[in-house]
Amino acid sequence: MTKELVFEESSGNVFADLDLEDAEEYLTRGKIGIQVLRLLKQRNLKQREISQLLGIPQPEVSYLMRGEFQRFSEGKLIAFLKRLDTEISLHLRPRHAGTQAGETVISL
The pLDDT tens digits for 10-63 are: 888 889 999 999 999 999 999 999 999 999 999 999 999 999 999 999 999 999
- pLDDT at 97 exceeding the cut of 90: no
SS3 content of the chain, % helix, strand, coil (to 5): 50, 5, 45
Q: Kindly state whether residue 26 falls inside one of the protein's structural domains.
A: yes
pLDDT band at 107 (very low <50, low <70, confident <90, very high): confident
Q: Kindly state whether residue 1 falls inside one of the protein's structural domains.
A: no
The CATH number for 77's domain is 1.10.260.40
CA distances from 40 to 3, 56, 92, 106 (A): 44, 14, 27, 25
Q: Kindly state whether residue 7 falls inside one of the protein's structural domains.
A: no
Q: Which domain holds residue 60?
A: 14-107
| Count of structural domains, the chain | 1
| Alpha-carbon gap, residue 87 to 6, rounded angstroms | 43
Q: Kindly state whether residue 3 falls inside one of the protein's structural domains.
A: no
CB atoms closer than 10 angstroms to residue 61 = 21
Q: Kindly state whether residue 99 falls inside one of the protein's structural domains.
A: yes
